[in-house]
Amino acid sequence: MMAQPIAASKEPEAATPALDVSGLSVEFPSRRGTLLAIDDVSMQIAPGEILGVVGESGAGKSITGLAVLGLLESPGRISGGAIHVGGRRVDTLSEKELTKVRGREMGAIFQDPLTALNPLFTVGKQLVETIRLHSGMSKEAANDRALALLQSVGIPAPRERLRQYPHQFSGGMRQRVVIALALAAGPRLIIADEPTTALDVSIQAQITALLRKLCDETGVGIMLVTHDMGVIAETADRVCVMYSGRVVESGPVAEVIHNPQHPYTKGLMAAIPSLHDRVETLAQIDGSMPRLNARPTGCAFHPRCPHAGPKCSAATPPLVSVGVTRSACWLQQGGTQ
């Protein structure tokens, strides 16, 4: 039987975001006190849009994605805010309810595809079981959809590949299988957490191009979590720059890259080597991301900021509009004195 074309994801109303995160806070209680990992983070992703979430290790990118998926490890917990997927609030659901929503409404792509694939079962069996779990399809119909999914993510000879095990695939092909699994139930939203980090550069480009293609064709919204501004520039529509658990700048990718407003974003962009200018040394941001139990008062970036003034250590700047972007810096809000 010929494989049927892959069905588009469930299309929400134009006014309904694929993801709406409002005032999200995540904390980790410990014997030495409560550590605030995510502090008042808000972001939206429209259907068919890729939002890049970027920052150094420890910025809170992955924890934000895990909070959306309801996969925070204990004792981590959501302490404030709300998360809506396709207009439905998900942060208040029970684990049983979340299990139904996760996969059907939300898909996930993680850094290491081997962690998402069971080595004991064929790729076809894993795809078919996932499809049947969330759709109620017959085994034959689910097999046809699995074949169509492998075709849609660019895996050659998909009928033969359905009968193979994960170890028989290369790293790039395994990641394509994971993407197919994430799309199996036609979700509204996919969280892609460093999906290209473990791959070589040429395969990275193929995977990011595939995510862009699938986003355009199915209307799924994608949160692309990465530390690589190059991946963001090539793939995303908008970007949120995170630092120490907060969003410090957000806006259209081209504007944030070419006209960054926040000193941290400017530092990230200055650290990227130019293809045209020859320099003796690369720019760097002095210092390091603060630990959760040693976050400074005021703006968390002020100990590393060359423009910091007294106000920066005294109060946390809100995220406000600066042209078409939003920035959380006192420089754009009346100075630092």
Nearest to 84 by CA among 145, 17, 135, 11: 17
CB 213: neighbour CB atoms within 10 A? 13
Which uninterrupted H or E stretch holds 110? Answer: none
User: What share of the chain in percent tops pLDDT 70?
Assistant: 94
Q: What average pLDDT does range 86-109 have in this prediction? A: 91
Q: What does the pLDDT read at residue 54?
A: 95
Q: Per the CATH hierarchy, to which homologous superfamily does domain 19-243 belong?
A: P-loop containing nucleotide triphosphate hydrolases (3.40.50.300)
d(CA 102, CA 161) in angstroms, rounded, equals: 26
Looking at the chain, the domain(s) classified CATH 3.40.50.300 span 19-243
CA-to-CA distance for 90 and 70, rounded, in angstroms? 8
Per-residue confidence (pLDDT) for residue 89, from 0 to 100:
96
Which amino acid, residue 23? G
When the pLDDT of each residue in the chain is averaged and rounded to a whole number, the result is 90
pLDDT of 181 strictly over 90:
yes
Q: pLDDT value at position 9?
A: 44
**Percent of the chain with pLDDT strictly greater than 90:** 70
Whole-number Å distance between alpha carbons of 317 and 314: 10
Helices (H) and strands (E) in the chain, counts: 11, 12
Q: Residue 325: beta bridge partners?
A: 322
- Whether 337 contacts 311, CB under 8 Å: yes
User: What tens digit of pLDDT does each residue of 229-252 get?
Assistant: 888 988 999 999 999 999 999 999
Burial class (CB in 10 A: 0-12, 13-18, 19+), 211: buried
Q: What is the pLDDT of residue 14?
A: 52
Q: Return the bridge partners of 19, or none.
A: 45, 85
Q: Of the candidates 111, 117, 89, which has an alpha carbon nearest to the alpha carbon of residue 23? A: 89
Q: How is residue 18 written in tokens?
A: 């694929």
* pLDDT computed for residue 110 by the predictor: 87
Q: Of 165, 66, 185, 71, which Cα lies nearest the Cα of 117?
A: 165
Whole-number Å distance between alpha carbons of 304 and 311: 15
